[in-house]
Structure 1
Amino acid sequence: MTSLRTLVAARRWMPGTACQVCTAWQRDTLCRACRLRFRPTGHRCRCCAASLTGLDAVCGVCTLRPPAFDRALAALDYAYPWDGLVTRFKFGGACELAVPLAQRMAEALRLAAAQPDFVWPEVLLPVPLSDQRQRERGYNQAWELARRVGPALGVPAQARWVERVIDTPHQIGLPRAERLHNLSGAFAVTSAGRAGLAGRSVAILDDVMTTGATLQELAATLRRAGVWRVQAWVLARTVRDDAGP
């Protein structure tokens, strides 16, 4: 029987890493088996990216109350194992997870591009953090994704065209109406952004969409700056409640 010491010694000589989900020793941060096992199935509302059980393209909530963005795309469901990885990436300082998570986003967006009504944006904008929040976290998780997703898809990413001018409180657990109230006036387009965004088609990128309040406020800000078309790209989408997008 092979001893534990022998296995450990062998792994030292094997190129690769442990899968962040199943811990299997292999080449990628997320092994192929886990990527296939936990990939999302079904289809989503084209307006808010919520999972749909029927065949409709748009959910009932978005039919009655369309969001400020034209389309939303989510790569993953905010469920096991992705919720744990996203939490570590966002709050646990695991910035190295940006690489495999950005790869999941790029793959999902390439599939979306095969749809006949898909239009590639001209610019990719990460949702900005306030200066205080970025100092606390050490990085903006949306930018860490965007600066990898953008080049992979041939869409330039711009980190300095929008800014967060109000340091809103943490939104976790708040209902949609309260989130929207907190976020009112939270974003602004910079002078460089005003020159570069007018009349253009953009995608805004964030890690997780829950109620969609953050993306809603940023999209509305961009509309007022003259942006023609806004998509919302997110890594993961939570299960939506009756509060809507």
Structure 2
Amino acid sequence: MTLRNSRPVLAWRTLAATWRWTPGSACQICASWQRDAVCDECQRRFLRPCHRCRCCAAALAGLNEVCGRCILRPPAFDQTLAAVDYAYPWDGLVTRFKFGGACELARPLADLMSEALWTAAEQIGFEPPDVLLPVPLSAARQRERGYNQAWELARRIGPALEVPSHARWVERVLDTPHQTGLPRAERLHNLRGAFAVTPAGRAGLAGRRVAILDDVMTTGATLDALAATVRRAGATAVQSWVFARTVSDDAAP
């Protein structure tokens, strides 16, 4: 896939350059006193290049573009872009952001994610989507957490790429159990009928290229279920954008 034109991406990179932590901040990883939420030294140390499956973003040791599981059972999404592995130190930041009420981490994580997406656009090329959708939480889970971490990332990344983000086009109609530690088959079973497209979404998704965004991909079951839902609503292509991809399906966030 190729970029339609450079204007959205250039605008994205320009705005991303302004997404810097307030001067006089401690690095969220090493605690050094400097400018950025994650200092340059930690980025050099922990943002390692990784060859990934084009479809699900699993790390690949060889030169293949698609992993064996995606060849045997292609998911409902076409491509996945991941910024980092779900490993130290990123797993700790995600846990604080997702479960510890640290919503202030949304900005630096979105900054790192936007840079990774920009790199992917330069290196492998991809067609920018028409619509960006955060993975929704159930009403009960959102009340418990206080915010939807996927939306906190999407509402910062979407404007930079000039892609409209919509938090109310899809909804989670089933409050599924926590998926932590469950195998892929059980996750898929729990997610049957979990998502629905709202009337506004049905009007807006038909014929559109869609990116669905989440903080972490483990087995891909949640993103697969949501991708299938938006395809049934008429989406012509679906990408998955995640901040972190687990090293294996057993490394659940």
Determine which of 122, 135, 146 is the counterpart of 1:138. 146
Structure 2 equivalent of residue 227 of structure 1: 235
Structure 1 equivalent of residue 89 of structure 2: 81
How has the CA–CA distance of structure 1 residues 15 and 122 changed in structure 2, closer, same or farther, with 3 Å as cutoff?
closer
Displacement after TM superposition at 1:241 (Å):
4.2
Matched, 1:39 2:52: no
Matches within 5 A, 1:187-206: 187-206=195-214
Larger mean CA deviation between 212-221 and 37-46 belongs to 37-46
Residues 180 and 213 in structure 1, CA contact (< 8 A), matched pair in contact too: yes
Q: TM-score, normalised by structure 2?
A: 0.88
What is the rounded CA distance, in whole Å, between the counterparts of 1:212 and 1:191 in structure 2? 26
Task: Give the root-mean-square deviation of aligned CA atoms.
Answer: 1.5
Q: One-letter code of the match for 2:62?
A: G
Unmatched runs of 5 consecutive residues or more in structure 2: 1-21
Determine which of 89, 104, 108 is the counterpart of 1:96. 104
How has the CA–CA distance of structure 1 residues 163 and 54 changed in structure 2, closer, same or farther, with 3 Å as cutoff?
same
Determine which of 57, 66, 88 is the counterpart of 1:49. 57
Tell which structure's C-alpha radius of gyration is larger.
1
Structure 1 equivalent of residue 18 of structure 2: none
What is the rounded CA distance, in whole Å, between the counterparts of 1:116 and 1:35 in structure 2? 22
Matches within 5 A, 1:165-204: 165-204=173-212
Displacement after TM superposition at 1:88 (Å):
0.2
Residues 23 and 36 in structure 2, CA contact (< 8 A), matched pair in contact too: no
Matched, 1:215 2:223: yes
Displacement after TM superposition at 1:29 (Å):
1.3
Displacement after TM superposition at 1:116 (Å):
5.2
Displacement after TM superposition at 1:134 (Å):
0.3
Residues 176 and 211 in structure 1, CA contact (< 8 A), matched pair in contact too: yes
Q: One-letter code of the match for 2:186?
A: E
Residues 164 and 186 in structure 1, CA contact (< 8 A), matched pair in contact too: yes
What is the rounded CA distance, in whole Å, between the counterparts of 2:208 and 2:23 in structure 1? 45
What is the rounded CA distance, in whole Å, between the counterparts of 1:15 and 1:116 in structure 2? 34
Displacement after TM superposition at 1:151 (Å):
1.3
Q: Does the residue aligned with 2:243 lie in a helix, a strand or coil? A: strand
Q: Alignment identity in percent?
A: 76
Q: One-letter code of the match for 1:17?
A: S
Matched, 1:150 2:158: yes
Q: One-letter code of the match for 2:244?
A: A
What is the rounded CA distance, in whole Å, between the counterparts of 1:205 and 1:197 in structure 2? 15
Q: One-letter code of the match for 2:171?
A: E
What is the rounded CA distance, in whole Å, between the counterparts of 2:49 and 2:26 in structure 1? 26
Displacement after TM superposition at 1:205 (Å):
0.1
Q: One-letter code of the match for 2:207?
A: G
